[in-house]
Structure 1
Amino acid sequence: MPFIPLADFRMHYVERGTGKLTVVFVHGWLSSHRWWEPVLHRLPPGVRAFALDWRGAGDSDPVEQGHTLLQYAADLQAFADAIGLPPFWLVGHSMGGGVALRYALDHPDHLRGLVLVNPLAPFGTRTDPQMDAWVRAQHGNPEGIRAMVQLAFAILPSPEVLDSLVIDAMRWGPVAYFGTLDDMARFHVVEELPRLQIPTLVIWGDRDVVIPFDGIATVFTRIPNCGLEIWHGVGHSPAHEAPDRLVRVLMQFIDECQSIERGA
Structure 2
Amino acid sequence: MQMLDVNGIRLAWREWGEGPVTVLFVHGNLASKDWIALAAPHFPRGVRTIAVDWRGCGDSDKPTPLADFSNYSVRQHADDMLAALDALKVDFCHLATHSTGGIISTRMILKQPDRFGRVFSLSPVGPQGIAFPPEKAAFFGRMKADKALTREVMATTAPSLFAPETLLPNPGPARFLPQVTAGDGARARLFGHIVDQVFQVSDGIWFGTPDTLTKEAHAGELKALMGTIRHPHLVAWGMRDGVIPEADMTEMAAAMPDCRFIAVPGIGHSMNLEAPELYAGYFGAWFGGLAR
Q: Say yes or no: does 1:232 pair with 2:232.
A: no
Residue 91 of structure 1 is matched in structure 2 by 96
- After superposition, give the CA deviation of every residue in 1:106-125 in whole Å (9 maximum; x if it has no partner): 21111011111100143222
Residue 78 of structure 1 and its aligned partner are, at CA, apart by 0.3
Match of 2:249 among 216, 229, 233: 216
Worse-matched range after superposition: 108-117 or 120-129: 120-129
Residue 199 of structure 2 is matched in structure 1 by 170
Residue 179 of structure 1 is matched in structure 2 by 208
Residue 253 of structure 1 is matched in structure 2 by 286
- After superposition, give the CA deviation of every residue in 1:66-90 in whole Å (9 maximum; x if it has no partner): 1111101000110111111131110
Residue 101 of structure 1 and its aligned partner are, at CA, apart by 1.5
SS at the partner of 1:61? coil
Q: Specify every segment of 5 or more residues in structure 1 that has no aligned partner in the other structure, as ranges.
A: none
SS at the partner of 1:73? helix
The amino acid of 2:56's aligned partner reads G
Residue 128 of structure 1 and its aligned partner are, at CA, apart by 4.8
Cα gap change, 1:179 to 1:211, in 2 (>3 Å): same
Worse-matched range after superposition: 242-251 or 5-14: 242-251
Residue 51 of structure 2 is matched in structure 1 by 51
Residue 68 of structure 2 is matched in structure 1 by none
Q: Distance in 2 between matches of 1:71 and 1:63?
A: 12
Residue 7 of structure 1 and its aligned partner are, at CA, apart by 2.1
Q: How many residues align?
A: 259
Residue 5 of structure 1 and its aligned partner are, at CA, apart by 0.7
1:81-230 alignment to 2 at 5 Å? Answer: 81-156=86-161, 158-188=187-217, 189-230=222-263
Worse-matched range after superposition: 68-77 or 116-125: 116-125
Q: Distance in 2 between matches of 1:230 and 1:198?
A: 20
Residue 251 of structure 1 and its aligned partner are, at CA, apart by 2.0
SS at the partner of 1:162? helix
In the TM superposition, structure 1's runs of 4+ consecutive aligned residues that sit over 3 Å from their partners are: 126-132
Residue 7 of structure 1 is matched in structure 2 by 7
Residue 24 of structure 1 and its aligned partner are, at CA, apart by 0.7
The amino acid of 1:88's aligned partner reads C
Contact 1:190 1:218 in 2 (8 A): no
Residue 255 of structure 1 and its aligned partner are, at CA, apart by 4.8
Contact 2:137 2:210 in 1 (8 A): no
SS at the partner of 1:119? coil
Q: Distance in 1 between matches of 2:80 and 2:142?
A: 29
Match of 2:76 among 71, 96, 110: 71
Q: Distance in 1 between matches of 2:29 and 2:11?
A: 16
- After superposition, give the CA deviation of every residue in 1:107-161 in whole Å (9 maximum; x if it has no partner): 1111011111100143222445443332332223212221221121121264322
Worse-matched range after superposition: 180-189 or 224-233: 180-189
CA RMSD of aligned residues (A): 1.8
Contact 1:124 1:185 in 2 (8 A): yes
Residue 164 of structure 2 is matched in structure 1 by none
Worse-matched range after superposition: 122-131 or 86-95: 122-131
Q: Distance in 1 between matches of 2:43 and 2:98?
A: 17
Higher RCO (Cα < 8 Å, 6 or more apart): 2
> TM-score normalized by structure 1?
0.92
> TM-score normalized by structure 2?
0.84
- After superposition, give the CA deviation of every residue in 1:216-261 in whole Å (9 maximum; x if it has no partner): 11211111021111101100001112222222222222358x48x9
